Structure 1
Amino acid sequence: MIKVAKFGGSSVADSNQFKKIKNIISSDEKRHIVVVSAGGKRFKDDNKITDLLYLCHAHIKYKVNYDWIMATIESRYREIKNSLNLSIDLDKEFDEIKKLMKSNIPEDFLVSRGEYLTAKLMADYLGYSFIDAKDIIHFQYDGKVNMKKTKEAIITAIDKCPKAVIPGFYGSLPNGDIKLFSRGGSDITGSIVANCVDAELYENWTDVSGILMADPNIIKNPKQIEILTYNELRELSYMGADVLHTDAVYPVKIANIPINIRNTNCPENNGTLIVNEGSELLEENKKNIITGIAGRKDFTSISFYKDGISNEIGAIKRVLEIFEKYGLNVEQVPTGVDTFSVVVSTKSLNGKAFELLTDIKNYCNIENIKFNDGISFISIVGRNMAKTPGISGKIFGAVGDMGINIKTISQSPDEINIIIGVDNNNFKKTIETIYNKFIA
Structure 2
Amino acid sequence: MKDVIVAKFGGSSLADSKQIAKVKDIIKSDSRRKYIIPSAPGKRDSKDHKVTDLLYMCYQLASHNLNFDEVYGIIEKRFQDICIELSLDIDINENLLEIKRKIQSGASKDYVASRGEYLNAIILSHYLGFEFVDAKDLIVFNNSGQFDSEATQTKVQSKLEKIGQAIIPGFYGAKENGEIITFSRGGSDITGAIIARGIDSELYENWTDVSGFLMADPKIVKDPKPIKAITYKELRELSYMGAPVLHEEAIFPVRQSGIPINIKNTNFPNEPGTMIVDDLSPISSTGTITGIAGKKDFTVITIEKTLMSLEKDFYRKLITVLETNNISIEHMPSSIDSVSLIISSTQLNSKLEKIIEEIRIYCKPDSIICHPNMALIAVVGRGMIRAKGVSAKVFAALANKGINIRMITQGSSELNIIIGIENADFNMAIAAIYEAFEN
Fold-level match, TM-score > 0.5?
yes
Match of 2:210 among 208, 211, 229: 208
Distance 2:50 2:198 in 1: 29
Report the counterpart of residue 403 of structure 2 in structure 1.
Answer: 404
Is 2:7 the partner of 1:8?
A: no
Q: Report the counterpart of residue 277 of structure 2 in structure 1.
A: 275
SS in 2 for 1:404: coil
Residue 135 of structure 1 aligns with which residue? 137
Q: For the Cα contact (< 8 Å) 2:286–2:385, is it kept in 1? A: no
1: CA distance between counterparts of 2:154 and 2:397? 54
Look up the match of 2:293: 294
Contact 1:88-1:120 at 8 Å conserved across structures: no
Return the alpha-carbon distance in structure 1 between the equivalents of residues 230 and 103 of structure 2: 46
Contact 1:4–1:201 (Cα < 8 Å) also in 2: yes
Counterpart for residue 384 of structure 2: 385
Tell me the equivalent position of 1:191. Answer: 193
Other structure's SS at 1:249 match: helix
The 10-residue stretch of structure 1 (104-113 or 371-380) with the greater mean CA deviation from structure 2 = 104-113
Gaps of 5+ in 2: none
C-alpha displacement of 1:159: 2.3
State how 1:82-101 maps to structure 2 within 5 Å.
82-101=84-103
Query: Any idea what the Cα deviations from partners look like across 1:117-158, whole Å, max 9, x if unmatched?
Result: 000000100110000000000111233222222122212221
Partner in structure 1 of residue 367 of structure 2: 368
For residue 60 of structure 1, what is the aligned residue in structure 2? 62
Name the residue aligned to 2:170.
Answer: 168
CA contact (8 A) 2:403 2:429 kept: yes
Number of matched residues? 437
Query: Which residue pairs with 1:343 in the alignment?
Result: 342
Name 1:415's counterpart in structure 2.
Answer: 414
| Amino acid across the alignment from 1:304 | I
Deviation at 1:367, TM superposition (A): 4.8
Cα distance in structure 2, aligned partners of 1:81 and 1:243: 32
Match of 1:24 in 2: 26
- Quote the offset at 1:66 in angstroms: 0.8
Displacement of 1:387 in angstroms is 3.2
Say whether residues 1:254 and 2:256 are aligned partners.
Answer: yes
Q: Counterpart amino acid of 1:361?
A: R
Contact between 2:140 and 2:151, CA under 8 Å: does it hold in 1?
Answer: yes
CA shift digits 1:53-84 (9 cap, x unpaired): 00001110112211111110011001110011
1:43 — aligned with what? 45
- Displacement of 1:288 in angstroms is 6.8
Measure how far apart 1:438 and its partner are.
0.5
Counterpart for residue 80 of structure 2 = 78
CA contact (8 A) 1:290 1:439 kept: no
1:66-121 Cα shifts (integer Å, max 9, x gaps)? 11111100110011100111122112112211222221111111111110000000
TM-score norm. by structure 2 comes to 0.97
Q: Which runs of 4+ in 1 moved over 4 A?
A: none
Residue 207 of structure 1, CA deviation = 0.5
Corresponding residue for 2:424? 425
Alignment-derived partner of residue 147 in structure 1: 149
Equivalent AA in structure 1 for residue 428 of structure 2: K
Q: Distance in 1 between matches of 2:337 and 2:101?
A: 69
Contact 1:203 1:261 (8 Å CA) reproduced: yes
The answer to whether the Cα contact below 8 Å between 2:287 and 2:385 also exists between their aligned partners in 1 is: no
Q: Tell me the residue number matched to 2:394.
A: 395
Deviation at 1:328, TM superposition (A): 1.0
CA deviation after TM superposition for structure 1 residue 294, in Å: 0.2
* 1:316 shift after superposition: 2.1
Unpaired runs of 5+ residues, structure 1, are none
CA drift of 1:389 comes to: 1.2
2:341 match: secondary structure: strand
**What corresponds to 2:247 in structure 1?**
245
Offset of 1:401 from its aligned partner?
Answer: 2.1
Q: Return the offset for 1:385.
A: 0.4
Name the CA distance, whole Å, in 1 between partners of 2:104 and 2:308: 65
- SS state at 1:335 partner: coil
Aligned to 2:303: 304
Q: Which residue of 1 aligns with 2:315?
A: 316
Aligned partner of residue 167 in structure 1, secondary structure: coil
For residues 27 and 387 of structure 1, the distance between their equivalents in structure 2, rounded to whole angstroms, comes to: 43
SS in 2 for 1:160: coil
- 2:287 touches 2:388 (CA, 8 Å); kept in 1? no
Structure-2 separation of matches of 1:17 and 1:322: 53
Letter in 2 for 1:405: N
Worse-matched range after superposition: 245-254 or 86-95 = 86-95
Residues 155-180 of structure 1, C-alpha deviations (whole Å, 9 max, x = no match): 22212321000000000012210001
Distance (Å, rounded) in 2 between the aligned partners of 1:310 and 1:235: 30
Separation in 2, partners of 1:235, 1:87 = 47
Contact map agreement 1:191 1:202 (CA 8 A) in 2: yes
How many Å separate the matches in 2 of 1:380 and 1:102?
Answer: 51
Shift of 1:245: 1.1
SS in 2 for 1:266: coil
Shift of the alpha carbon at 1:311? 2.6
Query: Shift in Å at residue 338 of structure 1?
Result: 2.2
Greater mean alpha carbon deviation, residues 338-347 or residues 115-124: 338-347
Distance 2:147 2:109 in 1: 19
Three-state SS of the structure 2 residue aligned to 1:273 is strand
| Comparing 301-310 and 377-386, the one that deviates more | 301-310
